[in-house]
Amino acid sequence: MKFLKVALAVLFIAVLLAGCAPAPTPTPTPTPAPTPQPSEYTNPGAPITVPVGISFTISVSSNPSTGYSWVASYDHSLLKLIKQYAPSNSGLMGASGVENFEFQGMRPGQTQVYLNYQRGWEPNSPTTETKTYNVTIVQ
């Protein structure tokens, strides 16, 4: 009987000690590297240098409710227009906003992007403003 009491006491102490053991440390999950975002340019005087295959965005003030929008002219052998968009942020009718042009460098070289603010739907529409961006595409 004494042997049974000692065995139960040892078993009880072992169970208590097992409950006090520290929890295993979880292995940290590696955080994936952030996806690089295209560089954004707003100043026509600032030179743009971008590696081949990397995109960049030119952002200009715009108010499409007036009928005017930006029309891009560029060397299609050096640059590819990925997308042109005007996100709506204010929610107000007639409010001005921003028009974005996302380009990708196709091969090394130097070129210019010309943005003309005009009514594209109107034949022979005069340009009210022109912006020129100097772009260098490197290897």
Tokens matching residue 77: 């052998």
Mean local confidence (pLDDT), 87-96: 70
Element (H or E) spanning 15, and its range?
helix 2-19
The tens digit of pLDDT for each residue in 13-24 reads 655 555 665 666
Domains of the chain: 39-88+97-138 (2.60.40.2020)
Which residues have a Cβ under 8 Å from the Cβ of 73 and sit 6 or more positions away? 113, 114, 115, 116
**Pick the residue with more confidence: 130 or 88?**
130
Task: Assess whether pLDDT exceeds 70 at residue 12.
Answer: no
Whether this model's pTM surpasses 0.85: no
Nearest CA-CA partner of 51 in 78, 70, 13: 78
